[in-house]
């Protein structure tokens, strides 16, 4: 008879951290001093870190007596993926997430001078840690032992056997938990007052979390593009939306620091800081409770859902209680009409509207189905139809802000001019092109021209991270619309040796061969495009589990990417393939990368 037991060491590490977090929570409430928790926070971090290492060690040594190892690894799996299998399922990834939160907390205690703010931060973070750890130990424990141990494990999901996916989830979690650290300081600002110190800390944490989350989402997109291989990089899948929501709120939050530093609408900044964190917990709830059908979701367990929803509810109630009781005490002043701060506030409002669209587009169908059992179909078109004009409005606003010195009337004329000029160009010159593409193109030119003249006049650019960041957002928008406008896809039937002209290219099917690797078998085809470059799409069958996957082959050029997905083999030896040209992909990646660089520089330049 098979039995399941608790593993001693793993649970001991977790318990040790839990006790540490508990101690911090209790003692920080008891004495009023501003003592540091350097040692305790180290103990918490170290316990979780050891638990992670310990579990990783079991993966690497193929110790299938661990239930978690047995269900997520296999003897044939390359060692690299054995390590990353740690965060391939719910339990391990949650452990990793808590470990990262403990790390953030330890860094705070190590670097910051002990103060009232740090005490509050410690209280908040350790209460999060306590709840998360209780959740981990009771309902998502990765340290279960199987007796007798199976000889081999079930395999790691082949979709996850990809280097990008090894780093994408931890980055998203890091972004989430860093927002928890940001949240703790937002609350301490609300309680202890908005001092200069707290703004410096907030600015760094906001930047670091924003950067990490951006990078996580960026890598997820790249993974979707290269690994899912259908030429898409963003699907408006509910899980993607759920990770986008804290990002949008975080973007608004980082921008709100600009005016709240100048003693304007601090309360709004606090509100954004709180909801960014709450949205990240809500994200964990949605993804981990199994209420969605998605490629991303972990196996469902209803008690987990209730527990996570409970954690979300507790933090919502607590933080809004503090928010509403303290917000009356904070005097709020409003920015001047058409000042820089007014425009930043407008940007915040538009971002919040985008957030709201993503939120109801994601949740409304789920809720409707639960109450009426009607299935409402919300597709990508809903999001893109509503969000595109708002993004264009955002671009217009931050471009106007660049030209603020010219005066209010001129600004309005300027914005109207951009729109009219774009419409003229689109109506009479570039008829087949979206109006949005032309508008964003003209905005891009305006921003670049301004930066260029500033460089000429003063030999330097003020706030280069801001200019670069905004320019890269415009390039990103432009590239996304360009991609939407000019991409093409064609299904072909082609035999080896055959030549076909398709989508403006000459496609030659050179050969097809059988391949064999340690963890899969398959076929690999070779195509020549215009005799310039070749594409080698594959079809694989994984030895364990027997899953069939298609490996898309992609060749990037400056303006277009070419993709081939291998379909089925016909009896006469010909194959069905899907051949597509995706436009502007490189520019999407380059601009996202530039955006990350500017966020990074903007964060570290004052440290």
- In the region spanning residues 271 to 290, those forming contacts with another protein, defined by CB under 8 A, are 285, 289-290
Per-residue binding string, another protein, 557-596, x by CB under 8 A, is: ----------xxxxx----x-x------------------
Rule CB under 8 A: say whether 541 interacts with another protein: yes
351: nearest Cα among 259, 249, 269? 249
Rule CB under 8 A: say whether 369 interacts with another protein: yes
- Applying CB under 8 A, the span of 76-84, 132-140, 164-172, 316-324 interacting with another protein comes to 316-324
Neighbours of 84 (CB within 10 A): 24
Angle at 158 between CA 156 and CA 163, to 5 degrees: 90
Rule CB under 8 A: say whether 232 interacts with another protein: yes
Q: Which is nearer to another protein, 91 or 237 (CB)?
A: 237
Rule CB under 8 A: say whether 322 interacts with another protein: no
- Applying CB under 8 A, the span of 112-120, 142-150, 383-391, 466-474 interacting with another protein comes to 383-391
Q: Which is nearer to another protein, 78 or 380 (CB)?
A: 380
- Applying CB under 8 A, the span of 21-29, 107-115, 246-254, 304-312 interacting with another protein comes to 304-312
105: nearest Cα among 53, 19, 173, 177? 177
- Applying CB under 8 A, the span of 133-141, 231-239, 411-419, 442-450 interacting with another protein comes to 231-239
- Residue from 148, 193, 302, 497 binding another protein (CB under 8 A): 302
How far, in Å, CA of 317 to CA of 459, rounded?
52
Rule CB under 8 A: say whether 460 interacts with another protein: no
**Alpha-carbon distances, residue 399 vs 18, 381, 423 (angstroms):** 49, 27, 18
441: nearest Cα among 481, 401, 411, 386? 481
Rule CB under 8 A: say whether 246 interacts with another protein: no
Rule CB under 8 A: say whether 331 interacts with another protein: no
Question: Is there a contact between 277 and 177 (Cβ–Cβ < 8 Å)?
Answer: no
- Residue from 19, 419, 523, 536 binding another protein (CB under 8 A): 523
- Applying CB under 8 A, the span of 339-347, 424-432, 441-449, 555-563 interacting with another protein comes to 339-347
The distance of closest approach from Cβ of residue 237 to another protein in the complex, given in angstroms and rounded to an integer, is 5
Neighbours of 195 (CB within 10 A): 14
- Residue from 12, 134, 167, 309 binding another protein (CB under 8 A): 309
Neighbours of 420 (CB within 10 A): 10
Q: Which is nearer to another protein, 83 or 387 (CB)?
A: 387
Total site size for another protein, rule CB under 8 A: 86
Give yes or no for a cis peptide into 148 (omega within 30° of 0): yes
Residues across the chain: 607
- Applying CB under 8 A, the span of 124-132, 194-202, 373-381, 444-452 interacting with another protein comes to 373-381
What contacts 489, CB < 8 A, 6 or more positions away? 231, 578, 579, 580, 581
DSSP codes joined into one string, 50-83: HHHHHHHHHHHTT-TTBHHHHHH--TTS-HHHHH
The distance of closest approach from Cβ of residue 550 to another protein in the complex, given in angstroms and rounded to an integer, is 6
- Residue from 306, 318, 417, 424 binding another protein (CB under 8 A): 306
Burial (0-12, 13-18, 19+ Cβ within 10 Å), 8: exposed
Rule CB under 8 A: say whether 382 interacts with another protein: yes
Q: Which two tokens stand for residue 531?
A: 């005799």
- Residue from 204, 390, 448, 461 binding another protein (CB under 8 A): 390
Rule CB under 8 A: say whether 521 interacts with another protein: yes
- Provide the H-helix boundaries in 435-463: 435-458
For 43-56, b/e burial (b = at least 16 CB within 10 A) is: bbbbbbbbbbebbb
- Residue from 78, 148, 379, 573 binding another protein (CB under 8 A): 379
- Applying CB under 8 A, the span of 127-135, 211-219, 357-365, 555-563 interacting with another protein comes to 357-365
How far, in Å, CA of 439 to CA of 22, rounded?
55
């Amino acid at each position: 008879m098979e039995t399941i037991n608790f593993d001693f060491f793993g649970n001991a590490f977790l318990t040790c951290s839990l006790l540490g977090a508990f101690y911090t929570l209790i003692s920080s409430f008891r004495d009023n001093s501003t003592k540091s928790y350097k040692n305790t926070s180290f103990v918490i971090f170290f316990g979780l870190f050891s638990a992670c290492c310990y579990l990783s060690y079991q993966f690497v040594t193929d110790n299938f007596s661990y239930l978690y190892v047995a269900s997520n690894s296999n003897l044939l799996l390359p060692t690299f993926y054995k390590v990353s299998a740690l965060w391939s399922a719910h339990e391990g990834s949650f452990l990793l997430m808590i470990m990262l939160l403990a790390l953030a907390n330890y860094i705070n205690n190590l670097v910051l001078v002990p103060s009232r703010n740090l005490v509050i931060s410690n209280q908040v973070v350790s209460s999060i840690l306590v709840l998360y750890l209780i959740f981990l130990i009771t309902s998502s424990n990765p340290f279960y032992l199987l007796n007798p141990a199976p000889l081999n494990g079930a395999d790691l999901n082949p979709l996850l056997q990809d280097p990008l996916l090894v780093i994408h989830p931890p980055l998203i979690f890091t972004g989430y938990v860093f927002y928890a650290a940001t949240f703790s300081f937002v609350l301490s600002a609300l309680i202890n007052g908005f001092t200069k110190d707290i703004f410096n800390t907030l600015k760094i944490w906001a930047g670091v979390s924003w950067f990490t989350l951006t990078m996580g989402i960026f890598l997820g997109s790249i993974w979707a593009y290269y690994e899912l291989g259908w030429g898409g990089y963003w699907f408006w899948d509910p899980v993607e939306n759920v990770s986008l929501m804290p990002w949008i709120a975080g973007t608004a939050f980082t921008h709100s620091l600009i005016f709240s530093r100048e003693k304007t609408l601090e309360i709004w900044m606090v509100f954004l800081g709180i909801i960014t964190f709450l949205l990240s917990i809500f994200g964990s709830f949605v993804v981990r409770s199994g209420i969605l059908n998605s490629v991303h979701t972990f196996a469902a367990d209803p008690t987990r859902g209730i527990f996570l929803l409970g954690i979300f509810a507790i933090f919502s109630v607590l933080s809004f209680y503090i928010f509403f009781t303290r917000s009356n005490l904070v005097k709020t002043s409003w920015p001047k009409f058409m000042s820089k701060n007014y425009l930043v506030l407008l940007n915040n409002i538009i971002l919040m509207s985008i957030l709201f669209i993503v939120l109801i587009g994601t949740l409304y169908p789920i809720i409707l189905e639960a109450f009426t059992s009607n299935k409402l179909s919300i597709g990508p078109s809903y999001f893109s139809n509503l969000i595109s004009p708002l993004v264009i409005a955002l671009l217009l606003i931050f471009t106007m802000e660049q030209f603020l010195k010219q005066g209010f009337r001129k600004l309005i004329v300027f914005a109207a001019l951009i729109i009219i000029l774009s419409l003229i160009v689109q109506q009479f010159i570039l008829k087949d092109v979206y109006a949005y593409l032309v508008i964003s193109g003209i905005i891009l030119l305006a921003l670049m021209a301004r930066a260029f003249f500033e460089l000429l006049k003063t030999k330097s650019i003020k706030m280069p991270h801001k200019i670069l960041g905004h320019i890269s957002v415009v390039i990103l928008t432009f590239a996304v619309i360009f991609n939407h406008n000019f991409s093409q896809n064609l299904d072909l039937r082609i035999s080896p040796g055959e030549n076909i002209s398709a989508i403006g290219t000459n496609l030659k099917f050179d050969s097809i061969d059988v391949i064999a690797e340690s963890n899969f078998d398959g076929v690999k085809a070779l195509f020549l495009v215009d005799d310039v470059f070749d594409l080698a799409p594959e079809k694989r069958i994984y030895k364990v589990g027997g899953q069939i996957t298609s490996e898309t082959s992609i060749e990037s050029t400056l303006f277009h990417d070419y993709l081939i997905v291998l379909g089925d083999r016909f009896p006469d030896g010909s194959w069905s393939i899907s051949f597509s040209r995706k436009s502007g992909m490189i520019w999407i990646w380059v601009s996202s990368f530039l955006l990350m660089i500017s966020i990074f520089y903007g964060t570290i330049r004052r440290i």
